[in-house]
Structures are given as C-alpha cells and as structure tokens.
Amino acid sequence: MSALFTNYRWLGAKLIVAVLLSLALLFLFRESKAVGYIESLGPDITEVVDLVLGIPSAIGDRGLQFIESKAELRERITELESENIVLSARGQRLEALLAENRRYRALLNSSIASDPDLTVARIISVSPDIQRHLVTVDRGDAHGIHEGDVVINALGVMGQVVNSGRFASQVLLISDASHGLPVLNNRTGLRGVVEGTGRLDRLVIRNLASTADIVEGDLLVTSGLGGRFVSGYPVATVTETRVSGDAAYLTVWADPLADLDLESHVLILHGEHDEPQPPQVDKLVDLQ
C-alpha cells in the first residue's frame, strides 16, 4: 500500500540537489583533499570485493592441498629449488653487470640514480569501465606504494600508480587513451612522447618531424624526462610509421612489450626516480 501514498513533494528538490552535488564533485571539488581521500577508498573497496570473490577458489585450493600427494609436493619443491639455483646464478651475473655499469658511469662522470625499491604486486581486478585501462593491485600506502610509482613487468613498462589506497592501488596502463610517456628511440636517441590509444596492443607517437630517423623494429625505452619514469626501461617496438598528407609530420605506431592483458603479477618501482639532469655545459666544452 505504501507506494500509492508515497510522498513525492521533495522529489524535484532532491533531484536538483543531487545533480548540483554531482556537478560540484566533478568540476569544483575534484582536486580537493576530501574528494581525494574518498577516491583513495576505491582500491581498498575493490580489494574487499576481490577477497569475497576469492573465497571459493581459496576453499578449492585448501581442498587440493589435502588431495595432493606428498610425492607431488616433493617433486615441486625439487623443481623450485633447481629454478632458484638458476635464478640466483643469473642474479649474480646481473649484480656484476650493474657494478660494471656503475664504474663506466663513474668514468664518464655522469650522475646515476640509485636503484629504486621493487615491490611485487598482484593484479586483483580490472576496472569495469570499458573506456579506461585501469587495474587494481594488492599493494598500497601500507606497503610504501604512492601515487606516481612506476609499474613494470618482466618485459617492459606497464603503467603508473594513479591512486593509492591503504592496502591496494589503481594503476593506469600505458595503453589508456589519457596516458603519455616520454620515450627515446634506443637506436638513434630520438625523443618523443608515446601515448595510449585505448587499445591494449597499440601505442602512438604523434607529430614527429617527417625527417625523423625512426623505422619499423626500433625499440622505444623510457627517457626519464619529466622525472616520473626511470630511464632505460623498454616500452614498445615500432610497428608502423606514416607520413601525414602534407609530408610535414610523422606518426609512429608501436606495440607495447609488456602483455598488458595477460599479466597477473607486476613490479612496482618506488623510492627514487630519475630527476631531470641539468646540462653539463662545462664538460661538453672540455670535450670539444
């Protein structure tokens, strides 16, 4: 019965207030601290939902652990141990190379940014908004992750943290149409900004000079300009170059190296980022 006699006197007023509040949140208070705080709850809510979704599989895993025989477990341990030995050996080789690299840089008298800290994170969800390439990872402020931290995987750069909650963070992928990343051509040193296209398998560099030396197969790496992304990480390979109709500009298409839709674990670089280096004019003069 209640629906027939529901009081709708304030319906119009409520609509106006709600519309004004929505617009105010969107355009007036978007940069305010309060809205920033509420937005930082987003990743944590997503993690709670992920925990709920993970309950059935967790129960299944427990069941499997009981079923799995001791022999199988021993076999797995042996496999993992041998894998560990191989990886440790590779790690030692890498350490040696890093040390060698530091010595060369010292010889060249160039400053070097200290190695950033690495945190392994798991992708727990993908944004339901089909227009955005945004994923949530299970690491947040509590793990030392902050807005602006760079996210990579074994193959290359994946994106950057744009919103860090207490226990989870949102990462904007380099393929998002609103993302831009300063890169340089590893072969020629040519600089540019690679932008997302909204497609996971395609990035673009617009408005390069038509005479720019860049060809199919060139590797694009982070340039470190802007001080956010550490320099030298692979980003994409060039797949196509196209000169504009009036031959003034060149558009370059590239494939991201990281499998943006397949990865489940990522590495987050935090700590020190490369700062833009002031040009060392006196050294250049010396060389001349």
Partner 1 sequence: MNEDSGYGLPIVSLVLAITLFQWIAGGFSSYWAPRLIELTLLHWVLWHPERFGIVWAFGIGILINLLEGSPLGSASLGLVVAAYFLTAYQETARQLDPVLQSLMVFVLLAIAAATESVLQALAGIPTAGLSYLLGVGASALLWKPLSELLLLLTRRSA
The tokens describing 161, both together, are 């943290």
Structure-token match 């191989």, residue found: 86
Q: Which is nearer to partner 1, 59 or 106 (CB)?
A: 59
Q: Which is nearer to partner 1, 1 or 64 (CB)?
A: 1
Alpha helices in the chain (DSSP H): 11-23, 33-67, 70-107, 281-287
Q: Which is nearer to partner 1, 45 or 98 (CB)?
A: 45
Q: Which is nearer to partner 1, 132 or 166 (CB)?
A: 132
CA–centroid distance for 84 within its chain: 27
CB of 126 to partner 1, least distance (A): 5
CA distance 54 to 65: 16
CB of 20 to partner 1, least distance (A): 10
Residues 185/236, Cβ–Cβ less than 8 Å: no
CB of 19 to partner 1, least distance (A): 6
Instruction: Kindly give, in sequence order, each residue whose CB lies less than 8 Å from that of residue 243, ignoring residues fewer than 6 positions away.
Output: 210, 249, 250, 251
Q: Which is nearer to partner 1, 21 or 243 (CB)?
A: 21
What does residue 49 show for φ and ψ, rounded to 5 degrees? -60, -40
Q: Which is nearer to partner 1, 137 or 190 (CB)?
A: 137
CB of 133 to partner 1, least distance (A): 8
Q: Which is nearer to partner 1, 164 or 223 (CB)?
A: 164
Structure-token match 């727990």, residue found: 124
Going through 110-210 in order, the beta strands assigned E by DSSP cover: 117-126, 134-137, 150-152, 157-164, 169-173, 180-185, 191-196, 203-209
CB of 219 to partner 1, least distance (A): 25
CA distance 121 to 50: 14
DSSP 146-166: -TT-EEE-SSSEEEEEEEE-S
Interface residues with partner 1 (CB under 8 A) are 1-3, 6, 8, 11, 14-15, 18-19, 21-27, 30, 35, 38-39, 41-42, 45-46, 49-50, 52-53, 125-134, 136, 162-163, 170, 176-178, 198, 200, 261
CB of 14 to partner 1, least distance (A): 4
CB of 182 to partner 1, least distance (A): 19
